[in-house]
């Protein structure tokens, strides 16, 4: 009887460790890619935040010069490119991330770019608001709570 009890205890321990390792692996993918050293938090701070902020501020200022529109297009296209990079290197842990980065961010930033190229501030602001829903969805699930 003791052998059977010990066997069940070891089985439960093994199952628990397997689950913890699996969950830990998913969490690690959110924090850093599998082969490249940049942490997701570094990507957000160094790329996403500055370009989102510049895009929002630029649209709110009501761009009028061609140079300003061109700068806004750079911000939008870099955010669009980021949607592809956020899906690479094993960073995508689940459907929330895939929908946010791989669909909402990608499509939204493409719409922002399209509106910027048409020099349509109202449409660009609307598309920007839609695009930022990707940020909120992903952050709600994956951003560490402070």
The answer as to whether 108 is a domain residue is: yes
More confident of the two residues 16 and 75: 75
Query: For residues 26 and 34, what is the distance between their CA atoms, to the nearest angstrom?
Result: 11
* 5 domain-assigned: no
Q: Is residue 6 part of a domain?
A: no
Give the chain's domain count.
Answer: 1
Residue 94 lies inside a defined structural domain of this protein = yes
Residue 10's pLDDT is 58
Is pLDDT of 55 > 60?
yes
CATH classification of the domain holding 127:
1.20.120
Q: What is the 3-state secondary structure (H, E, C) of 38-60?
A: CEHHHHHHHHHHHHHHHHHHHHH
Q: Which one, of 37, 5, 13, 33, lies nearest residue 101 by Cα? A: 33
Q: Which residues contact 69 (CB under 8 A, 6 or more apart)?
A: 63, 116, 117, 119
Q: What is the pLDDT of residue 104?
A: 96
Rounded to whole angstroms, the Cα distance separating 130 from 133 reads 5
Q: Is residue 11 part of a domain?
A: no
User: What's the whole-number mean pLDDT along residues 130-138?
Assistant: 93
Domain with 119 in it: 32-142
51 in any annotated domain: yes
Is residue 18 in a domain? no
Asked, for residue 79, whether it belongs to a domain, the answer is yes
Please, which pLDDT band fits residue 18 given cuts at 50, 70 and 90? Answer: very low
Specify the pLDDT at position 75. 98
Question: Residue 126 — pLDDT band, cuts 50, 70, 90?
Answer: very high
Segment 63-81 mean pLDDT: 97
User: Greater confidence, 6 or 25?
Assistant: 6
Mean pLDDT across the chain = 85
Phi and psi for 36 in degrees, rounded to 5? Answer: -105, 145
3-state secondary structure at position 86: coil
In this prediction, residue 146 carries a pLDDT of: 74
Of the pLDDT bands very low, low, confident and very high (cuts 50, 70, 90), residue 30 is: low
């Amino acid at each position: 009887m003791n052998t059977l009890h010990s066997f069940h205890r070891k089985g439960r321990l093994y199952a628990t460790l397997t689950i913890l390792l699996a969950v830990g692996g998913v969490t690690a993918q959110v924090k850093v890619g599998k082969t490249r050293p940049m942490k997701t938090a570094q990507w957000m701070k160094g790329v996403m935040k500055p370009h989102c902020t510049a895009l929002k501020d630029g649209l709110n200022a009501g761009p009028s010069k061609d140079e300003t529109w061109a700068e806004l297009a750079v911000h939008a296209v870099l955010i669009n490119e980021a949607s592809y990079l956020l899906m690479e290197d094993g960073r995508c842990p689940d459907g929330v991330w895939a929908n946010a980065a791989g669909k909402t961010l990608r499509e939204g930033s493409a719409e922002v770019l399209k509106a910027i190229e048409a020099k349509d501030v109202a449409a660009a602001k609307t598309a920007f608001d839609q695009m930022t829903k990707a940020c909120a969805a992903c952050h709600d699930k994956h951003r560490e709570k402070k």
